[in-house]
């Protein structure tokens, strides 16, 4: 998990920096990084996607750690790209046949080119950003639990804590 050792705070890449990383990624790596960004998956989960995980506009990827398997609609921004890639692969063959270390290195390289601070250039910081984004959009802890594929509610409560911001404070205090 991506955590700052000194403050114990989660490393969460900003929406702006995440978009910069995607923009500066090598074309081969843009789609897996976009999947990481949009769905809040772990790197291993993204890299395990096969054509069989995509059916009738739904992306179903078994989560690690014995979690429930969420079903996600295909995000319009990457829908056609994912569907096209899935038609080009044989059943059971991974869409992104890369290793986690290389995935991490590619995120680092793209982030370096984009001028993003290195401490945020970790695949898990994209997962944390997705959880925070969904919490800020109003997802309940139970909804976050389902979206993130968590086994316990306490893991999802971390994102509701992270959702507090100046904008939220103004809404109730301003």
CATH number at residue 69: 1.10.443.10
Q: Compute the distance between CA of residue 157 and CA of residue 154 in angstroms, rounded to an integer.
A: 5
Q: Do the domain assignments include residue 1?
A: no
Expressed as residue numbers, the domain containing 77 is 15-173
Token digits for 172?
């109730």
pLDDT digits (tens, 9 = 90+) for 67-90: 667 889 999 999 999 999 999 999
pLDDT digits (tens, 9 = 90+) for 149-160: 887 877 777 777
Of 5-14, 60-69, 141-150, minimum mean pLDDT range? 5-14
The predicted pLDDT at position 7 comes to: 46
The predicted pLDDT at position 141 comes to: 87
Q: Do the domain assignments include residue 163?
A: yes
Prediction pTM value = 0.85
Greatest alpha-carbon span in the chain = 56
Q: Do the domain assignments include residue 6?
A: no
- Structure-token match 């929406």, residue found: 15
Structural domains in the chain (count): 1
Give the residue-averaged pLDDT of 91-111.
96
Q: Coil, strand, or helix at residue 10?
A: strand
Q: Is the pLDDT of residue 109 over 80?
A: yes
Q: Do the domain assignments include residue 129?
A: yes
């Amino acid at each position: 998990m991506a955590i700052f050792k000194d403050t114990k705070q989660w490393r969460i890449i900003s929406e702006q920096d995440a978009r910069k990383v995607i923009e500066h990624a090598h074309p081969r790596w843009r789609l897996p990084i976009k999947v990481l960004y949009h769905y809040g998956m772990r790197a291993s989960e993204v890299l395990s996607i096969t054509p069989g995980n995509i059916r009738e506009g739904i992306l179903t990827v078994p989560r690690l750690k014995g979690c429930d398997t969420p079903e996600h609609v295909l995000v319009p921004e990457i829908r056609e790209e994912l569907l096209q890639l899935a038609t080009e692969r044989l059943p059971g063959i991974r869409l992104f046949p890369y290793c986690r270390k290389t995935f991490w290195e590619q995120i680092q390289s793209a982030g370096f080119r984009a001028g993003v601070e290195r401490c945020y250039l970790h695949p898990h910081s994209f997962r944390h950003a997705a959880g925070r984004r969904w919490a800020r959009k109003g997802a309940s802890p139970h909804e976050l639990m389902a979206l993130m594929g968590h086994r316990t509610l306490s893991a999802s409560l971390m994102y509701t804590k992270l959702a507090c911001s100046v904008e939220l404070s103004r809404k109730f205090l301003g």
